[in-house]
Structure 1
């Protein structure tokens, strides 16, 4: 029986099984398997369906939430007695109290006390630490045996307190001061090209013919150049600073000089932007705001704020209507501006979705309000301000700067829905759901075109990595709740395959001299922890075949991840905690296979994290940027320094007292002792939650 409509347009309902609605391509709110399909139906019909479905969902949610109170007919009284539905883990709390064994708990990190807390959800890479048996015991023992670890942690914090980052304090900055930060043209030429080759084919928010025209006009007369263009240029070279291959690297405290330059540019552009009017905005205002968030991310600057800043950026774009079809604009708008609106919106959506996934948070619920078409796969040269209509897209396998944004849009709704599902504390997934999602993700990976050309490798790699990370999280979660050996074997194979391909993808780019995704992504950590979790929980005697496969791949995956994160530490001067987590997991895995050498592997792990630290201390710049050097000097000085670092000046008495008080405070920081020993990284304690009366499970179909 085919689905049929009944009722008026305002009260339209569908008859027939829900699966037939799905097959007919109708929009189902909450459906995460496929993107919203474009139909030729009038706008009014679409809105009617949305309104009906919204009302129907609210009715169903109310009915589910009030299960057990059907005898109460008064709506007000029913609201009084209704309670929040159980989360999967709070249900397990009651189960454990009766003596039953819980197979899994919701994996999330809520750490700290009072209001000095941090939260990371299920898709955060570190959430796996809770499920690797005895890893925290290994790290705590390492701290006890090797005091150098605690000393490094203390020294890094002391360095941060003794030196203030150049431009770290907000201060008004004039347009002239902003222009004075521009380095010499030769340096800018190199960094701009490095940015375009590395990131320009991923988040393509610029129109290159316009950019190059303004770039050529800039140098003969910098004083009269547009402040918006200068800010755009500074943020582009800031994003590329840590990609340079200059050796040896020099440092100011625990920050590399390239990173210090990037921070200077970022802070200056941020301060300048705050003084600009928002009444007469152009595409440059949105481009600058996007590049600000992106430059911070690839410079490891205020990384804990990435998710909140990306969300703010997305809302800024929604407030301007970038999520709506630009063809709805009544006033005359050029084809170029319409295309840029679509591009910028697509880039912001991708950035916010990935930031949400990395943090373990749900992405902003923009899909129900958005109808802007995907970015077109067209060459920038085919479009200018005089173009009346957007040209037809080129073939799918023909690479353009917009190819990534166009191809990513094919899986945006799938990834957005999966991220929502995986971080929903009241939603569970069955094996059939996980298998179906795995097939859909794999279909998207197989559909990635075989592009060629400058930047094509980075774009294709980034698209595949963004999809594979969902497979790892899906099966890491499924592995802990599998009911049969066949289900466990399937999840193990998928984890091994995804982790191996993730590391191999990164290695292939690095061998070509591209470090863009090494700095941008966190999936090296995710892959290493996933494979460590797998090897720590498999019984090789009971399942020798899968055990041999795991052992064959585990060592190489974790070793490659250690190398990549070591390079990342060298480029940033930071991220030592991520490196320590991976080297500890690697040492723990080797000690598990050969317990007699536990102390040897522990020492190896300690040496792998202390070696970069000693290199940073030995390569300190002779004139730290924070010791009074002007911003212009920080931005343009050379890379020369003595091999022996200058001694740090003593702290003032008042500052020393502040630091003593600071260290006594239970402030939660990624460099605190618990973060290094992985203590208190266990799952959220279900017994801390109030008891709820009725369980609630939502099928993701």
Structure 2
């Protein structure tokens, strides 16, 4: 096969010269082969020479798309379209070729060639990953020669075995003793004949238009019926001859379509009753657009703002779908807009109660919608509902199954196939929205799989969809006839995260697949190799200006995308290195695993704390990095001997400070959403006490008391802000997610009466004033939003992170059994999720 220029090192000239060199070598080899065949027998000379099949130089992806190819590996078009892992060339007899993903460095167990992201050819595209072209070319030629020799040996063995089986002789046949009977022509591997004009087999099973498309696999039952010759003609003739005379009317599809649209545009009065006032809704919508649309693209912001403005127009009818979309959107951000007067019902905040009620109403509406006649807004609602459940921790055990449903719905709609390659009619606007929604579903599924430690559905999906373009929403709309070109990577847009995240998706899927297998399948060399690949991907990320505060009217916040792009790669260091830090005591070579493990956990905490200090909490609510990082810091520190002078032990005080920051971020989330995930906070408090005991800063009993005091202090703050369910009409009618029953409410009421009638209070007056002054403070500079009123969406953390200790004279008996239930008993459960 003509050697393509490897990884962008050579251009068309190199590819052409390599082609001529290889042809000359093949001609010499064929000349020697024909000479040997002529010496073997005179009958060979009479056979006509076999005609060599013309080898096509372009890659299979470019030939399928009917585009010009740079003849490199991977080629420029495959890199730009995000399909570099499928860039492959047509093999010739005796050669081995496969997709880039099969030959790349994502499989360290076999001889591999890594993609060097740091070294780039000065006269070539900077996006191309380059390797040593001469080394690859020589390796490929040697591989071809080995393959030819293996084929010749196999042919000779087959001929000898056949001759021995015919005459029953034990004498080895040779060309001198066997000239008359020539064995049958050996079966050479024939290169697959791929037509120059493919019919798009993998895309012809997508029918429909825009988001009403449906994907059918190549082996679906209906396709078998269609391929039955004469069946359609027979059925049509039968209908004309026997059914039409009976005056059986046809379906009035236009009338049914109009009726369906009328029902779709009907208002949902029960849903509108759940909407908060206009000012509050505007504030919650602004928070969502400012924080969550920076990373997961679900709506087209200019189009949504137009629809949202008409949504409040009293002269227009609100469709139920738009009402559900608004409710789902504010469910995501309601806990991020908490004020200091937030109340609690039991251990759940009133903001969480409202979010749970909205999510349940939207879920019921979405479940009653037709799966056949879905539109763009239905998929937007589905993605937002999952995000709302994730942020508010609603049905945590169903996160992974919910993302699997999202991916399957996307597949049946054909979102995993790029719309530019399909024959169905999809406008440029819907093409980009399909790519964005599919990228959002994929990231949801991959992250939920990593958090749960289970395989992802995406590892079994042929993902042909291109990455979303790096463009802002104001660069295209529903009337756009052609999408603009993607901006450079160093220019930040609202779609930069999805555009760049797609590049590391093959590596993350490979790591997810390996880590969900048996731990014994990963050795130390492979772990180091994957660590190197992750580091290369991290180093290749663009460095935006994230330290400068954005302008008041700017919607761009690159720090969110920058942080998430790093976190989703760094999180794989922990499970990769975790099996090897246990072997540090026996093997000194695993010391690097401890350093990488500790440094990764430290970087994750610092990244989240930087967002937390700016009042940005979207990533902290979407991910569980803070709890995992705190536990991992304790894990690696506890494995260090007390008298050790290593870097980890020398950095012990910073480790304690980082864990306290994680606890502060967890407390902030609990005060906003409620204590609906108690095992995480209690585990962090206990881990900190255990580390302080190991370092010798506190005795065991004092460390236990400190952990209990920290936990009790937070619980007191929840109790002192209790709101009786009876005094809140919205919460008294079976509020979803409420965990306070009549018995618990009675205990809380009795406790509150005890506090009023007794001099014993959980806090002193001085401590309460300190909490109000230093515990939380509103941001000094409110964010300005186009078309939206000024609001205060965040509460900036306090500079003083010290815990408020409870009054030592207070008795725990007033709390009943709630406090014990919130502190998990690990002796009764084998896992925190049980």
Q: Does 2:464 correspond to 1:371? A: yes
**Cα separation, partners in 2 of 1:248 and 1:597, compared to 1, 3 Å:** farther
**Cα separation, partners in 2 of 1:399 and 1:382, compared to 1, 3 Å:** same
Q: Does 2:363 correspond to 1:270? A: yes
| 8 Å CA contact retained: 2:267, 2:318 | no
**Cα separation, partners in 2 of 1:183 and 1:435, compared to 1, 3 Å:** same
Residue 2 of structure 1: how far off its partner (Å)? 9.3
5 Å-filtered alignment, 1:501-512, equals 501-512=603-614
Distance (whole Å) between structure 2 residues aligned to residue 202 and residue 328 of structure 1: 26
Distance (whole Å) between structure 1 residues aligned to residue 387 and residue 607 of structure 2: 22
Hey, what does 1:122 align to over in structure 2? none
Hey, what does 1:466 align to over in structure 2? 568
Hey, what does 1:490 align to over in structure 2? 592
User: Could you say what secondary structure the match of 1:619 adopts?
Assistant: coil
Hey, what does 2:679 align to over in structure 1? 577
Residue 240 of structure 1: how far off its partner (Å)? 0.3
Identify which range, 580-589 or 413-422, moves more after superposition.
Answer: 413-422
| 8 Å CA contact retained: 2:577, 2:593 | yes
Hey, what does 2:278 align to over in structure 1? 185
Hey, what does 1:400 align to over in structure 2? 493
**Cα separation, partners in 2 of 1:222 and 1:508, compared to 1, 3 Å:** farther
Distance (whole Å) between structure 2 residues aligned to residue 547 and residue 502 of structure 1: 16
Aligned residues: 515
Distance (whole Å) between structure 2 residues aligned to residue 484 and residue 24 of structure 1: 43
- Tell me which stretches of 4 or more aligned residues in structure 1 moved more than 6 Å: 1-9, 625-628, 630-635, 671-674
5 Å-filtered alignment, 1:86-105, equals none
Q: Which has the larger radius of gyration?
A: 2
2:664 to 563, 579, 602: 563
Hey, what does 2:87 align to over in structure 1? 39
Residue 338 of structure 1: how far off its partner (Å)? 0.6
Residue 632 of structure 1: how far off its partner (Å)? 13
User: Could you say what secondary structure the match of 2:718 adopts?
Assistant: helix
2:455 to 356, 362, 366: 362
| 8 Å CA contact retained: 1:431, 1:482 | no
| 8 Å CA contact retained: 2:389, 2:395 | yes
1:583-640 deviations in Å (ceiling 9; x for gaps): 10110111122287110110110111122212212211133599775789999xxxxx
User: Could you say what secondary structure the match of 1:588 adopts?
Assistant: helix
1:610 to 701, 712, 719: 712
| 8 Å CA contact retained: 1:461, 1:505 | yes
1:660-681 deviations in Å (ceiling 9; x for gaps): xxxxxxxxxxx97995336664
Identify which range, 461-470 or 443-452, moves more after superposition.
Answer: 443-452
**Cα separation, partners in 2 of 1:629 and 1:254, compared to 1, 3 Å:** closer
Residue 221 of structure 1: how far off its partner (Å)? 3.0
Hey, what does 1:110 align to over in structure 2? none
**Cα separation, partners in 2 of 1:680 and 1:332, compared to 1, 3 Å:** closer
**Cα separation, partners in 2 of 1:307 and 1:633, compared to 1, 3 Å:** closer
User: Could you say what secondary structure the match of 2:572 adopts?
Assistant: helix
Q: Does 2:298 correspond to 1:205? A: yes
Residue 380 of structure 1: how far off its partner (Å)? 0.9
Distance (whole Å) between structure 1 residues aligned to residue 586 and residue 695 of structure 2: 26
1:325-345 deviations in Å (ceiling 9; x for gaps): 112332321101010111001
Distance (whole Å) between structure 2 residues aligned to residue 595 and residue 552 of structure 1: 10
| 8 Å CA contact retained: 1:36, 1:413 | no
**Cα separation, partners in 2 of 1:284 and 1:551, compared to 1, 3 Å:** same
**Cα separation, partners in 2 of 1:590 and 1:622, compared to 1, 3 Å:** same
- CA RMSD, Structure 1 to Structure 2 (Å): 3.8
Residue 425 of structure 1: how far off its partner (Å)? 2.0
1:30-66 deviations in Å (ceiling 9; x for gaps): xxxx9853538699xxxx958x999xx9xx9xxxxxx
User: Could you say what secondary structure the match of 1:224 adopts?
Assistant: coil
5 Å-filtered alignment, 1:382-421, equals 382-421=475-514
Hey, what does 2:582 align to over in structure 1? 480
Residue 506 of structure 1: how far off its partner (Å)? 0.9
**Cα separation, partners in 2 of 1:679 and 1:524, compared to 1, 3 Å:** farther
Distance (whole Å) between structure 1 residues aligned to residue 285 and residue 312 of structure 2: 14
Distance (whole Å) between structure 2 residues aligned to residue 222 and residue 181 of structure 1: 20
Residue 421 of structure 1: how far off its partner (Å)? 0.9
Question: Per chain length, whose mean CA-contact separation is higher, i.e. which structure has more relative contact order (CA < 8 Å, sep 6+)?
Answer: 1
Distance (whole Å) between structure 1 residues aligned to residue 827 and residue 436 of structure 2: 41
User: Could you say what secondary structure the match of 1:677 adopts?
Assistant: coil
| 8 Å CA contact retained: 2:338, 2:351 | no
User: Could you say what secondary structure the match of 2:455 adopts?
Assistant: coil
Distance (whole Å) between structure 2 residues aligned to residue 246 and residue 497 of structure 1: 36
Hey, what does 1:677 align to over in structure 2? 826
Residue 316 of structure 1: how far off its partner (Å)? 1.1
Hey, what does 1:307 align to over in structure 2? 400
5 Å-filtered alignment, 1:285-296, equals 285-296=378-389
Distance (whole Å) between structure 1 residues aligned to residue 698 and residue 387 of structure 2: 46
Hey, what does 2:627 align to over in structure 1? 525
1:229 to 303, 316, 322: 322
| 8 Å CA contact retained: 2:88, 2:98 | no
**Cα separation, partners in 2 of 1:648 and 1:223, compared to 1, 3 Å:** farther
**Cα separation, partners in 2 of 1:558 and 1:676, compared to 1, 3 Å:** farther
Distance (whole Å) between structure 2 residues aligned to residue 251 and residue 461 of structure 1: 32
Q: Does 2:692 correspond to 1:590? A: yes
Residue 473 of structure 1: how far off its partner (Å)? 2.1
Hey, what does 2:444 align to over in structure 1? 351
Distance (whole Å) between structure 1 residues aligned to residue 53 and residue 444 of structure 2: 41
Residue 250 of structure 1: how far off its partner (Å)? 0.8
Residue 547 of structure 1: how far off its partner (Å)? 4.4
| 8 Å CA contact retained: 1:252, 1:624 | no
Residue 199 of structure 1: how far off its partner (Å)? 0.8
Q: Does 2:721 correspond to 1:619? A: yes
